[in-house]
Protein backbone atom coordinates (compact mmCIF):
# COMPACT_ATOMS: atom_id res chain seq x y z
CA UNK A 1 0.00 0.00 0.00
CA UNK A 2 1.49 3.32 -1.08
CA UNK A 3 1.89 5.95 1.58
CA UNK A 4 0.01 9.16 0.99
CA UNK A 5 2.05 12.35 1.34
CA UNK A 6 1.00 14.76 4.06
CA UNK A 7 0.23 18.24 2.80
CA UNK A 8 0.57 21.01 5.38
CA UNK A 9 -0.67 24.43 4.35
CA UNK A 10 -0.58 26.31 7.62
CA UNK A 11 -0.01 26.26 11.34
CA UNK A 12 -3.60 25.09 11.91
CA UNK A 13 -2.82 21.96 9.92
CA UNK A 14 0.36 21.36 11.92
CA UNK A 15 -1.50 21.73 15.20
CA UNK A 16 -4.27 19.42 14.01
CA UNK A 17 -1.85 16.75 12.78
CA UNK A 18 0.16 16.85 16.02
CA UNK A 19 -3.02 16.55 18.08
CA UNK A 20 -4.19 13.67 15.90
CA UNK A 21 -0.87 11.91 16.37
CA UNK A 22 -1.02 12.49 20.10
CA UNK A 23 -4.53 10.99 20.27
CA UNK A 24 -3.28 7.93 18.43
CA UNK A 25 -0.34 7.52 20.78
CA UNK A 26 -2.63 7.96 23.79
CA UNK A 27 -5.09 5.45 22.37
CA UNK A 28 -2.28 2.97 21.69
CA UNK A 29 -0.94 3.35 25.22
CA UNK A 30 -4.44 2.90 26.67
CA UNK A 31 -4.94 -0.29 24.61
CA UNK A 32 -1.56 -1.66 25.70
CA UNK A 33 -2.23 -0.89 29.36
CA UNK A 34 -5.65 -2.56 29.11
CA UNK A 35 -4.13 -5.68 27.57
CA UNK A 36 -1.32 -5.92 30.11
CA UNK A 37 -3.67 -5.26 33.04
CA UNK A 38 -6.01 -8.03 31.91
CA UNK A 39 -3.09 -10.44 31.41
CA UNK A 40 -1.68 -9.73 34.87
CA UNK A 41 -5.12 -10.06 36.47
CA UNK A 42 -5.71 -13.46 34.85
CA UNK A 43 -2.29 -14.77 35.88
CA UNK A 44 -2.65 -13.38 39.41
CA UNK A 45 -5.96 -15.24 39.74
CA UNK A 46 -4.08 -18.46 38.96
CA UNK A 47 -1.46 -17.69 41.62
CA UNK A 48 -3.42 -16.14 44.50
CA UNK A 49 -3.54 -18.41 47.58
CA UNK A 50 -6.80 -20.30 47.75
CA UNK A 51 -8.41 -21.63 50.90
CA UNK A 52 -12.04 -20.54 51.06
CA UNK A 53 -11.89 -18.54 47.83
CA UNK A 54 -12.59 -15.23 49.58
CA UNK A 55 -9.23 -13.71 48.63
CA UNK A 56 -9.38 -15.03 45.08
CA UNK A 57 -12.90 -13.65 44.66
CA UNK A 58 -11.93 -10.20 45.91
CA UNK A 59 -9.91 -9.22 42.83
CA UNK A 60 -10.89 -5.84 41.39
CA UNK A 61 -9.56 -4.71 38.01
CA UNK A 62 -9.73 -1.05 36.95
CA UNK A 63 -8.91 -0.39 33.32
CA UNK A 64 -7.80 2.88 31.69
CA UNK A 65 -10.52 5.46 31.19
CA UNK A 66 -10.57 8.75 29.31
CA UNK A 67 -7.94 11.10 30.65
CA UNK A 68 -5.93 8.37 32.40
CA UNK A 69 -3.58 5.74 31.11
CA UNK A 70 -3.31 3.38 34.04
CA UNK A 71 -4.61 0.01 35.06
CA UNK A 72 -5.02 -1.24 38.60
CA UNK A 73 -5.48 -4.66 40.17
CA UNK A 74 -6.30 -5.01 43.84
CA UNK A 75 -7.23 -7.84 46.18
CA UNK A 76 -8.84 -7.86 49.55
CA UNK A 77 -11.47 -5.10 49.66
CA UNK A 78 -12.45 -5.29 53.33
CA UNK A 79 -9.81 -7.99 53.83
CA UNK A 80 -6.97 -5.88 52.42
CA UNK A 81 -4.68 -6.46 55.43
CA UNK A 82 -5.13 -10.23 54.98
CA UNK A 83 -4.37 -9.90 51.25
CA UNK A 84 -1.18 -7.96 52.02
CA UNK A 85 0.03 -10.59 54.51
CA UNK A 86 -0.67 -13.40 52.04
CA UNK A 87 1.20 -11.50 49.33
CA UNK A 88 4.25 -10.53 51.37
CA UNK A 89 4.88 -13.40 53.79
CA UNK A 90 7.08 -15.95 52.04
CA UNK A 91 6.93 -18.33 55.01
CA UNK A 92 3.18 -18.96 54.97
CA UNK A 93 1.85 -22.31 53.83
CA UNK A 94 0.06 -21.75 50.53
CA UNK A 95 -1.73 -24.92 49.51
CA UNK A 96 -2.27 -25.59 45.83
CA UNK A 97 -5.94 -25.65 44.91
CA UNK A 98 -5.36 -28.81 42.85
CA UNK A 99 -2.65 -30.67 44.76
CA UNK A 100 -3.69 -30.22 48.38
CA UNK A 101 -0.69 -28.19 49.48
CA UNK A 102 2.86 -27.51 48.47
CA UNK A 103 4.36 -25.76 51.48
CA UNK A 104 5.80 -22.26 51.64
CA UNK A 105 6.25 -21.00 48.07
CA UNK A 106 6.66 -17.87 46.05
CA UNK A 107 4.44 -17.47 43.02
CA UNK A 108 6.11 -18.40 39.77
CA UNK A 109 8.36 -21.09 41.19
CA UNK A 110 6.44 -23.75 39.32
CA UNK A 111 4.46 -24.51 42.43
CA UNK A 112 1.24 -22.75 41.60
CA UNK A 113 -0.24 -20.56 44.29
CA UNK A 114 1.78 -18.54 46.78
CA UNK A 115 3.12 -15.24 47.96
CA UNK A 116 3.89 -12.50 45.41
CA UNK A 117 0.81 -13.58 43.43
CA UNK A 118 0.42 -10.07 42.01
CA UNK A 119 4.05 -8.95 41.90
CA UNK A 120 5.33 -11.93 39.91
CA UNK A 121 2.94 -11.65 36.93
CA UNK A 122 3.43 -7.87 36.90
CA UNK A 123 7.19 -8.26 36.57
CA UNK A 124 6.72 -10.82 33.80
CA UNK A 125 4.31 -8.56 31.89
CA UNK A 126 6.66 -5.59 32.01
CA UNK A 127 9.39 -7.50 30.19
CA UNK A 128 7.61 -6.85 26.87
CA UNK A 129 5.39 -3.93 27.81
CA UNK A 130 7.35 -1.36 25.83
CA UNK A 131 7.18 -3.53 22.70
CA UNK A 132 3.40 -3.80 23.04
CA UNK A 133 3.02 -0.02 23.20
CA UNK A 134 5.26 0.46 20.17
CA UNK A 135 3.33 -2.19 18.20
CA UNK A 136 -0.03 -0.57 19.06
CA UNK A 137 1.29 2.86 18.01
CA UNK A 138 2.65 1.50 14.73
CA UNK A 139 -0.66 -0.23 13.98
CA UNK A 140 -2.73 2.89 14.69
CA UNK A 141 -0.51 5.27 12.75
CA UNK A 142 -0.45 3.15 9.58
Q: Where are the domains of the chain?
A: 13-141
The answer to whether 97 touches 50, Cβ cutoff 8 Å, is yes
Q: How many CB atoms lie within 10 A of CB 47?
A: 24
pLDDT of residue 17: 65
- Please compute the mean of the pLDDT values over residues 8-22 and round it to a whole number: 70
pLDDT of residue 5 exceeding 70: no
Taking the complete model, does pTM exceed 0.75, yes or no?
no
pLDDT tens for 107-141 read: 555 556 778 888 888 888 888 877 877 787 778 77
pLDDT classification of 14: cutoffs 50, 70, 90: low
Mean pLDDT, range 53-58, rounded to an integer: 85
The pLDDT mean for the chain works out to 76
Say yes or no to pLDDT of 96 above 60.
Answer: no
59 touches 89 (CB < 8 A): no
Amino acid sequence: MAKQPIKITGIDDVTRLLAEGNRKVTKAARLAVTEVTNEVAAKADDLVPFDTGELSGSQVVKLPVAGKIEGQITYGSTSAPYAAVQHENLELFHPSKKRGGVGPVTAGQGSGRGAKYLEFPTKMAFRDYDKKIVNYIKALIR
